[in-house]
Amino acid sequence: MATHKGCALKGKAKGTKTTSGKPHMEDFNGSFNKENLQVVEAETLRGRKRLSEADDDIDIDITKGGDMMTMLDRFGADINKAFLAKRKRLETFTKSSVKTSHQKIEQLWRVQQRDRSKVTEDYCTQFNAVFNQWDTDVQKSKDNEEKLLSMFQHQQKMFQHMRASQSQRLKTLKQLLEQYIQSLDTMEKTHISQQGAVQGELRQEMALFQKKILMDTVSNMTDQLTKHIVLHALCHP
């Protein structure tokens, strides 16, 4: 924009000092690029119309070599005016566009900031809820771990006590078994001794009983024999 402005001012300044049309046209051609060619052509047509309307009493005979310098000066002035108006409109449009863009960007930034804040707030809420639950679970886990450790220690003590009790009971059972076996041995020996004594007594009693029976039998036989002899004697005197 600054380059176009400088070029326009430069062309205007040189337009009043040139003595022929050729240097002025070279400066004019150097002041505009291809992007403004259509604008220049349109402004040239409008400038020619304004020149024809303003100078109805002046007969410019280009084919016969009229006042070319005056025409070029007016043409350059019209072009400069058109360029300045175009530049002013461009500046106004640029300012308006920049302002509108700035407002849109600011509004978009606010919307995005609000969205980011909402997302961040939602995330913080969810994170805090999950974190608090996790912290509660960790605390419960620690409490349960302590309880389990206490229970394990208690169970370990109980197992040790039960093992000691079982060992003592097994020892007692072993002692009782040994005493029982010893008692059986002693009792068996006693019973054998008692049986021997009883059998001895029975033998003695049987011998005495047999002797008595024998003596009773002999006595009976003697008595019978005596009676028989007496009867025989009585029967046969």
For the stretch 138-190, pLDDT in tens is 999 999 899 999 999 998 899 899 989 989 999 999 999 999 999 999 988 89
Q: Is the pLDDT of residue 133 over 90?
A: yes
- Write down how long the chain is: 237
Residues with Cβ within 8 Å of residue 74, at least 6 apart in sequence: 47, 51
pTM score: 0.34
Residues with Cβ within 8 Å of residue 98, at least 6 apart in sequence: none
pLDDT of the residue at 178: 93
For 69, the token pair is 């310098």
pLDDT of the residue at 23: 40
For the stretch 78-130, pLDDT in tens is 788 888 888 888 888 888 888 888 888 889 889 989 999 999 999 999 999 99
H/E element, 158:
helix 68-235
Residues with Cβ within 8 Å of residue 25, at least 6 apart in sequence: 72
